[in-house]
Amino acid sequence: MKLHSILSKRHSFKFFFQVLLVLLILITVISLFVSNATRDFIKNQNIQQLTSSIEIYANGLNDEMRSVERFLYSTITHDKGLDELNEPQSYTDYEQTVKKVQTTFNDYEYQHETHMSFLVATEGTHHFLSASTLYIPYQDYLYLKNNINSFRNNTDDRKWQAILINDTEYLIKVVHYKEKTIMAVISAEDILMPLRKLNIGKNGHISLKEPKNLSSSTHLIEADSERTQLPFDIYVAVDYTDVFKSIVLFEVFIAIVPILIAIASLVLIIFIRNRMLSPITRLTERLSKIDENTSIYDIASSEGILEIDTANDKLSQVLFDMQDLKIREYHAQLELKKVELNYLKSQIRPHFYLNMLSMIHSMLQTENYKEIEELTILTSDYLRYLFMVDQDFSPLDKEIQHIKDYLEIQRIRYGEHIDFALTFDEQLHDALVPSLLLQTFVENTIKHGFSFQDGIAIDLSLQKRMVEEKPYIEICVKDNGPGFTPEILEKLKNMESLMSEDGHHIGITNAIERLNLLYPNNYTITFENNDTGGARIYALLPYKALKGDSNEYTTR
């Protein structure tokens, strides 16, 4: 249920790639485990087969040696030839007795196909002779003859004894009864001869003693006496690599195949990741970063995959069309703002004309010709600049002079009730600002904050600031008037239009919309009230420098 819940959720390509990689590692580990288990099983089966063969031989050898023991006990107690051989007799009788005894032992040897040498000794006549085919060297035979008394006296006739004669290992069984002794002798080589037929490899060997310093490829099989009931242990060192060449190759193949599959799968996964997953991821990242500033060069990228390249081409075409549409819309808005600006100026002109004519008429009645001359000059300069502005940007010093002309006109109109303070950074001498922007802020301050009773104090600060190593113009307009109403502040905070149906409050709204067009997402403007009263307008605009004449600073 939990797995279904996980799989039912939406996941990225990276998630499924990680799941696939985990599954690959898990499958590889399981494959290696199964491969090792299979190799161990095959090896154990082969060794078990050899062990079974050795144990079968050991059981047969045990039966053979028990048969020899029974034959020895039976012969020494019941064979009359041995009794006759222990008594003095003529040479002819001696030869006949020897032949009779040898016939008994030769018959046993023939019936059981054994390589056992049987030696007979008598105490009464001091005879020592071979009663069967002699399978041991004559020098070793003489050694046994010379030491018969020690074997007769010191050997427990119930056990087989291992002895070393002239660097050759032998097993002997000595049976003594009534001055008669029978000795069964067989070399270790003859005992182990049937096992030589087993394929134990070039470096394999068989012995009755435990071998030392075996190589890592050699497996030791031990047939111990407790399990086989033999009077000795048998050690078989098997050169596994040589004996089971084909099986070892198969084991190596089993071990290598999972690794090769894992490597091939990993290479395939990396190839898929680089050729499919990464391009799709990059395409997704590019799609997520698309905004109004994205260009077609940020999207266009050849990935070498037909489907993704086709999607890139289509997306680039869509983005190109969007940018073309945005450019058209931008120019349309600029034209609209130009119309609005001209409309604003057309609104200013008749209203301003009437005010000026009314003031001049009043001054004529009081014969105040000096103020009439001053007002006429200021009005002329003010209107000339207003009518000549048809660019997006104007030199900052001309904008400041235009504000001063406007304020001088207002002083003549309202008297000394208007106080103006200017803080100007000389580094902004060649700066450009949006046309009539400062005049709009100052005019709005006088229009909504002036009263004859309290007057108005306006503080205009213009400074150059570095923000993230980029130059900006900091504009701050403060006054001591009544400030903004809460309703106006809320609308300004939410960037809502202040313009009413009758056309009032068009100045601030028009200024904000012009800033959006001129500095898209690259300017700051705030409207607030001072703690001590009055309104405060703060703006941070990108710095633009004047180059050449005034016609070179347009943005269109």
Dig out the tokens for 60 from the structure.
């047969």
Are both 100 and 203 inside the same structural domain? Answer: yes
pTM of the model: 0.42
pLDDT tops 70 at residue 168: yes
Of 179, 209, 243, the residue that ends a domain is 243
**Quick one: pLDDT at residue 537?**
94
- Do 231 and 337 sit in the same domain of this protein? no
What does the block give as tokens for 420?
């103006």
For 367, the domain range is 323-552
- Same domain assignment for residues 371 and 474: yes
Residue 11: pLDDT over 70: no
Is residue 363 located within the same domain as residue 498? yes
Reference 375, options 412, 404, 402; nearest CA is: 412
Split at pLDDT 50, 70, 90, the class of 304 is low
Q: In terms of pLDDT, which residue wins out, 552 or 210? A: 210
Residue 459 has a pLDDT of: 94
**211 and 347 share a domain?**
no
Among 193, 222, 243, the domain boundary falls at 243
Looking at residues 155-160, what average pLDDT do you find? 65
Q: Quick one: average pLDDT of 153-168?
A: 75
| Same domain for 461 and 330 | yes
Band (pLDDT 50/70/90 cuts) for residue 525 is very high
For the chain, how many structural domains are there in total?
2
Cα separation of 189 and 57, whole Å? 15
Phi-psi region of 30 (alpha: psi -120 to 50; beta: other; left: phi over 0): alpha
Model pLDDT for residues 456-500, shown as the tens digit of each residue: 899 999 999 999 999 999 999 999 989 888 998 898 888 888 776
Distance CA 74, CA 108 (A): 12
pLDDT score of 18 more than 80: no
pLDDT at 379 over 50: yes
Examine residue 266 and state whether it is found in any structural domain, yes or no: no
**Structural domain contains residue 400:** yes
Select from 243, 275, 297 the last residue of a domain. Answer: 243
pLDDT band at 4 (very low <50, low <70, confident <90, very high): low
Kindly state whether residues 239 and 357 are assigned to the same domain.
Answer: no
Residues 394 and 541 in one domain: yes
- Do 354 and 460 fall within a single domain? yes
Supply the CATH number for residue 356's domain: 3.30.565.10
Exposed/middle/buried for residue 469 (C-beta within 10 Å: 0-12, 13-18, 19+): exposed
